[in-house]
Structure 1
Amino acid sequence: MPAAERTPKASRIIIREVFALATKEPVLSVLVAALVVLQCLHPRPWASLAASIDWQTVLTLAGLLIVTKAVELSGFLIWMAHRVVHRIHSERGLAFLLIGLAAALSTLLTNDVALFVVVPLALSLHKLTPLPLKRLVIFIALAVNAGSILTPLGNPQNLFLWQTSGVSFGTFVRALAPLCVALMGVLYLLAAVFFRGNALDLSKDTEPHPVDRPLVGVAAVLFTAFVLLADSHHVVIGLTGVAAGFLLWRPKAVLTIDWLLLLIFVFMFIVLRSVAALPWVHELISRVGIGSPLRAYAAGAIVSQGISNVPAAIMLAEFTKDWRALAFGVSVGGFGIAIGSLANLIAVRLSHERGMWLQFHLFSIPFWIVSGAIGAGLLLHL
Structure 2
Amino acid sequence: MLLGAALTMVLGILTPSQALSSINLNVILFLISLFTISSALEVSGFFSYLAYRLLISSRSMSKLILKVFGLSALLSLALSNDGIAGSFTPVIVSMRRQAKISVKPLLYALAFGVTIGSVALPVGNPQNLLIALESGMPKPFVLFAFYLLPPTIINILITYPLLLLLFHGSNDDIVINETRRPEELLVNKRLAYTAIIILLMLIPLYFITDVFNVSPYLTPPVTLTFMGASIIYLVSGSDRRVVAHNVDWTTILFFMGLFIVSEGALESGVLNVLANYLPQPTTLIGVFISGLFLSQVISNVPMVALYIPLMKELGGVLPSNSVIWIGLAASSTIAGGNLTLIGAASNVIISEASEKRGGGEGFGFLEFMKYGVPITIVNTVIYYAWLSYVHIPI
TM-score (ref. length: structure 2)? 0.81
Distance 2:221 2:376 in 1: 34
Bigger shift: residues 69-78 or 337-346: 69-78
Give, in angstroms, the shift of residue 156 of structure 1: 0.9
**Residue in structure 2 matched with residue 298 of structure 1 by the alignment:** 289
Query: Which residue identity lines up with residue 347 of structure 2 in the other structure?
Result: N
Query: Which residue identity lines up with residue 57 of structure 1 in the other structure?
Result: V
Q: Does 1:178 align with 2:150?
A: yes
Identity %: 25
Distance 2:199 2:328 in 1: 27
**Residue in structure 2 matched with residue 308 of structure 1 by the alignment:** 299
Query: Which residue identity lines up with residue 151 of structure 2 in the other structure?
Result: L
**Residue in structure 1 matched with residue 91 of structure 2 by the alignment:** 121
Deviations 1:265-289 (A, max 9, x none): 1111111232134324224316742
- After superposition, the Cα gap between the structure-2 partners of 1:240 and 1:141, relative to the gap in structure 1 and judged at 3 Å, is closer
- After superposition, the Cα gap between the structure-2 partners of 1:237 and 1:190, relative to the gap in structure 1 and judged at 3 Å, is closer
Bigger shift: residues 181-190 or 101-110: 181-190
**Residue in structure 1 matched with residue 214 of structure 2 by the alignment:** none
Give, in angstroms, the shift of residue 309 of structure 1: 0.8
Which residue of 204, 210, 233 maps to 2:219?
A: 233
**Residue in structure 2 matched with residue 99 of structure 1 by the alignment:** 69
Give, in angstroms, the shift of residue 63 of structure 1: 0.9
Which residue of 346, 371, 384 maps to 1:376?
A: 384
Residues 64 and 223 of structure 1 are in contact (CA less than 8 Å); yes or no, is this contact kept in structure 2? no
Give, in angstroms, the shift of residue 356 of structure 1: 2.7
Distance 1:258 1:296 in 2: 29
Bigger shift: residues 251-260 or 43-52: 251-260
Residues 226 and 238 of structure 1 are in contact (CA less than 8 Å); yes or no, is this contact kept in structure 2? yes
Bigger shift: residues 240-249 or 104-113: 240-249
Deviations 1:285-335 (A, max 9, x none): 167421112212221222111111111111111133431111121112222
Alignment of 1:66-145 (within 5 A): 66-145=36-115
Which residue of 328, 331, 336 maps to 2:330?
A: 328
Give, in angstroms, the shift of residue 84 of structure 1: 3.3
Give, in angstroms, the shift of residue 170 of structure 1: 3.0
Deviations 1:37-56 (A, max 9, x none): 44455622111112222221
Larger radius of gyration: 1
Bigger shift: residues 129-138 or 260-269: 129-138
Distance 1:143 1:247 in 2: 29
Partner of 1:356, secondary structure, is: coil
Give, in angstroms, the shift of residue 68 of structure 1: 1.6
Partner of 1:204, secondary structure, is: coil
Which residue of 178, 185, 188 maps to 1:204?
A: 178
Partner of 2:175, secondary structure, is: coil
- After superposition, the Cα gap between the structure-2 partners of 1:355 and 1:59, relative to the gap in structure 1 and judged at 3 Å, is closer
Distance 1:70 1:191 in 2: 31
Distance 2:127 2:40 in 1: 23
Query: Which residue identity lines up with residue 296 of structure 1 in the other structure?
Result: V
Which residue of 310, 329, 347 maps to 1:319?
A: 310
- After superposition, the Cα gap between the structure-2 partners of 1:378 and 1:277, relative to the gap in structure 1 and judged at 3 Å, is farther
Alignment of 1:211-222 (within 5 A): 211-222=187-198
Q: Does 1:349 align with 2:357?
A: no
- After superposition, the Cα gap between the structure-2 partners of 1:73 and 1:319, relative to the gap in structure 1 and judged at 3 Å, is same
Residues 92 and 191 of structure 1 are in contact (CA less than 8 Å); yes or no, is this contact kept in structure 2? no
Residues 5 and 258 of structure 2 are in contact (CA less than 8 Å); yes or no, is this contact kept in structure 1? no
Give, in angstroms, the shift of residue 123 of structure 1: 1.5
Give, in angstroms, the shift of residue 117 of structure 1: 3.6
Residues 63 and 238 of structure 1 are in contact (CA less than 8 Å); yes or no, is this contact kept in structure 2? no
Which residue of 247, 250, 267 maps to 1:260?
A: 250
Query: Which residue identity lines up with residue 170 of structure 1 in the other structure?
Result: V
Deviations 1:195-219 (A, max 9, x none): 4432211262326323422212222
**Residue in structure 2 matched with residue 365 of structure 1 by the alignment:** 373
Distance 1:261 1:61 in 2: 9
Deviations 1:101-148 (A, max 9, x none): 211122122212222343223212212333232232123211111111
- After superposition, the Cα gap between the structure-2 partners of 1:33 and 1:210, relative to the gap in structure 1 and judged at 3 Å, is closer
Residues 309 and 341 of structure 1 are in contact (CA less than 8 Å); yes or no, is this contact kept in structure 2? yes
- After superposition, the Cα gap between the structure-2 partners of 1:197 and 1:64, relative to the gap in structure 1 and judged at 3 Å, is same
Partner of 2:309, secondary structure, is: coil
Quote the RMSD (CA, aligned, Å).
2.5
Unaligned runs of at least 5 residues, structure 1:
1-30
Distance 2:129 2:261 in 1: 19
Residues 141 and 347 of structure 1 are in contact (CA less than 8 Å); yes or no, is this contact kept in structure 2? yes
Deviations 1:205-256 (A, max 9, x none): 3263234222122223433555537854345644654454444443222343
Query: Which residue identity lines up with residue 219 of structure 1 in the other structure?
Result: A
